[in-house]
């Protein structure tokens, strides 16, 4: 059974710091991996999708990597800003639907 783990559960950093969020999964047979952002009480916003045949994807200050063989993905956020404060979720595609981790709650202080 696929399990997705995100460490740490919470992270606090000062503005301007570069940071890495981690995601691990137990079954490497995935179609893709998605990173989402969720603000309190809101829906999910898709940040990046990495196909199983890809190693990384970039969007602005965000860079996500995927290592299927080790069952790991990282989300790198460069030059963090207070507006980056949110919960970040990773999810792997198993067949039709997604399997989610519990998320990392990020707080960036000014």
Partner 1 sequence: DGGITQSPKYLFRKEGQNVTLSCEQNLNHDAMYWYRQDPGQGLRLIYYSQIVNDFQKGDIAEGYSVSREKKESFPLTVTSAQKNPTAFYLCASSSRSGGENNEQFFGPGTRLTVL
Binding-site ranges for partner 1 (CB under 8 A): 4, 31-32, 34, 36, 41-46, 49, 51-53, 89, 91, 93, 95-103
Encoded tokens for 89 = 């979720």
Q: Which residue number, 33 or 77, has a Cβ lying nearer to partner 1?
A: 33
Instruction: Kindly tell me which of 5 and 109 has the beta carbon lying closer to partner 1.
Output: 5
Rounded Cα–Cα distance for residues 39 and 45 (Å)? 9
Residue 60 Cβ vs partner 1, minimum distance, rounded to whole Å: 17
Give the integer Cα–Cα distance in Å for 93 and 42.
Answer: 22
What is the smallest separation between the CB atom of 55 and partner 1, expressed in angstroms? 13
Q: Among candidates 10, 23, 9, 2, which has minimal Cα distance to 90?
A: 23
Closest distance between partner 1 and the C-beta of residue 109, in Å?
23
For residues 39 and 53, what is the distance between their CA atoms, to the nearest angstrom?
A: 30
Min. distance of Cβ 75 from partner 1 in angstroms?
Answer: 16
């Amino acid at each position: 059974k696929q399990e997705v783990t995100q460490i740490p559960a919470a992270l606090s950093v000062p503005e301007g710091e570069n940071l890495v969020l981690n995601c691990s999964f137990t079954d490497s047979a995935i179609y893709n991996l998605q990173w989402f952002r969720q603000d309190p009480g809101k829906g999910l916003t898709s940040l990046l999708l990495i196909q199983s045949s890809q190693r990384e994807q970039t969007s602005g200050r965000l860079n996500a990597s995927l290592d299927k063989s080790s069952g790991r993905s990282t989300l790198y956020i460069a030059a963090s800003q207070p507006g980056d404060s949110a919960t970040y979720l990773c999810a792997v595609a198993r067949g039709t639907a997604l399997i989610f981790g519990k998320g990392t709650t990020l707080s960036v202080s000014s």
